[in-house]
Amino acid sequence: MKKTIRNFLTAAGAIAAIALACMPAAAQNKLTINADQGKDVISKHIYGHFSEHLGHCIYGGYWVGEDSPIPNTRGIRNDVVKALKDISIPNLRWPGGCFADEYHWMDGIGPRDKRPKMVNTHWGGVTEDNSFGTHEFLDLCEQLGCEPYICGNVGSGSVEEMSKWVEYITFDGESPMSKLRRENGRDKPWKVRFWGVGNENWGCGGNMTAEFYTDQYKRYATYCRNYGDNRLYKIAGGPNEGDYHWMETLMKNAARQMQGVSLHYYTVPKNWGDKGSATVFDEAEYFETISKTLRMEELVSRHSSIMDQYDPMKRVGLIPDEWGAWYNVEPGTNPGFLFQQNTMRDAIVAGINLNIFNAHCDRVKMTNIAQTVNVLQAVILTDKEKMTLTPTYWVYWLYKVHHDATLLPVQFSCNKYEVGGRKIDAVSISASKDASGKVHITLVNLDPNKEQLVDGELRGMAGKNISGKILTSPKLNDYNSFERPNTVGVKDFSGAKLSSGKLTITLPPKSVVMVEIGG
C-alpha cells in the first residue's frame, strides 16, 4: 500500500512539474500607460547640449576655419552640423563652463587677426586665439537651427560687461553696442533668450558663498535688459549636486528675478582622484556607475521640493545644464582636454537621465549634456577630417520623439538588478504622446545579463500599429571608433507586441529601446 501511494505521489508531482513548466513565466515588470491622461509637456529643450572652449570641442570639433580642406560653411564643419541637425538639437550652451567666467566677449569680435589671445587657464593652459567668438557661435546656432544659450562672466567680469553683451546681440536701435555690431558685419540683432548669469560660482566661477552669489545675481539680472521683443530667460547659477542650502538661498531671495536655476551633477564611477576608465571596467564598476546615475532622481526631486516652497506655480525652471559621465582621460591625451571614449554603458547612462528629466518635466525645462564634441560624454568625436557618432548620440536620435510631446502617466513596477547584495530597478521607462497622437515609450534595460519581459496595458487609446528601434551591443564596453564607426548603432526592434490593449515588450540585456504605437 505504501509503495502504491509513493508511486502515485511521484506521478502526481511529475505531472505538476510538467504543468508548471508549460505555463508562461509570470512577468514581474508590470506597466500601465494612460494614453488619455497626459497634461505636462516634455520641452524639447530637455535635449540640449553644452560646448565649452575646452580641448577639441570648439577647435577641430565645430570650427576648422574657412581655409580648411574639411568641408565647412564659413569655417564651421558641415558633417558635425548635419549630425546634430539629425537629432534635432534644440539649444546649445556656450562658452562654458569654467571658461565662461574668464571669458571677455569683446576679445572675440572684430577681425580675427586682430583679436587678442589669452591663456585658457582651466583647460590645459593652451593659448586661446578667440577666432571663435560671438558671431561664429551665433552663426553655428543658425546653421543648426537651434537656440543659443549664452553663459555670462560673473567670476572675473562686470555687470557692465554682461549688460553690453546683451545689448550688442539683441538691440535693434541706435547705441554704441548696436553700432559696433553693425561695424562687425551684422546689421540686424539676433534673438537670444537663454542667458546664464555665471557658472559654478560656488567653485571655478569665483568660490562664492550662496549669499554673496545671490546678491551678485540680482545685480546682474537687473542690468540684463529686454530689448524690443527679445525676452530674456535668465538662469541663475545654481547648486553643485546636493547643496540644498545654495538652492534655498537663491530661491528665497531671488526667485522673482529669475526664470531658471541651474544644477550640475556628473556621474563619476569611482572618485574625483581616480574616476575610472571609460572602456575598461568590470560589472561591479558598471553597477556603481549606474547607481550614481540614478542619484539624479533624488537630486531633481529634492531641489524641486525646495523650489516648490518659493515657486508653487512652477514658473522657474530647474535647468541641469551640466550632466553626464566623467571618466579618466584616454591614455596619452592631454589631461586638460577631458577626452574620453563613449561605450554602451554611456548610452544606458544617457537613457536613464533623459527618462528622469522627462518624468519631471513640470519643473525641468532644459538640460545640457556635457559636452557635444570630443569632451566628456560627447555625442560626436572628430579627428581632423574623420568623424564618428557615439552610442550616446544614438540615444538622442531615439529619444527625439519626446520633443515637445505630452508626458503620459505610467504605473510601473519592475524586477531588480542585483550585484554584491545591492539592488536597483532593472528597467527605466518614459512615455509620451506627440501632436499626431502617436505614443512613444523609451525603455532602458540596466541589467547586462538578463532580458526583461514587460507585461503592460495601454489605456485610453485603441492602438493598432506597433514598431520599434533598439540600441544594444554584445559587450558593455563596446564603442564606435573611426575605424569601426558602426559597432554600436540603432536597429529595428521586433520585441514589442500589442493586442486588444495588452502590451508585451521583451528587452534584451543592456539595451535602450524606443517603441512607437499608432492608432
Q: In terms of Cα–Cα distance, which of 162, 245, 240, 242 is closest to 197?
A: 162
The rounded radius of gyration (Å) of the Cα atoms in the chain is 25
Q: Are 96 and 53 in contact (CB under 8 A)?
A: yes
Query: Which residue is listed with cell 511521484?
Result: 10
Residue type, 254: A
Active site residue 161: no
Torsion angle of C-alpha atoms 496, 400, 407, 493, degrees rounded to 10 = 0
Cell of 299: 537630486
As a three-state string, the secondary structure of 14-75 is: HHHHHHHHHCCCCCCEEEEEECCCCCCEECHHHHEEECCCCCCCCECCCECCCCCCCCEECC
Which of 322, 330, 457, 483 is catalytic? The answer is 322
Active site residue 322: yes
Q: Other C-beta atoms within 10 Å of 4: how many?
A: 8
Give the span between the Cα atoms of 181 and 192, in whole angstroms: 15
Q: Other C-beta atoms within 10 Å of 478: how many?
A: 18
Phi, psi at residue 303, to the nearest 5°?
-65, -35
- Residue 442, SS3 per DSSP: strand
Burial 485-502 (b: 16+ CB within 10 A, else e): eebbbbeebebbebeeee
Give the span between the Cα atoms of 300 and 419, in whole angstroms: 26
Query: Which residue is listed with cell 554704441?
Result: 176
Phi, psi at residue 425, to the nearest 5°?
-60, 140
Q: For 9, which DSSP code?
A: H
Which of 102, 128, 136, 200 is catalytic? The answer is 200
Cell of 118: 589669452
Cell of 381: 568625436
Widest pairwise Cα distance in the chain? 110
Q: Which residues make Cβ contacts (< 8 Å) with residue 15, sequence separation at least 6?
A: none
Q: Are 38 and 83 in contact (CB under 8 A)?
A: no
Name the helix (H) or strand (E) containing 416. Answer: strand 416-419
Q: In terms of Cα–Cα distance, which of 161, 306, 316 is closest to 224?
A: 161
Question: Catalytic site residues?
Answer: 200, 322
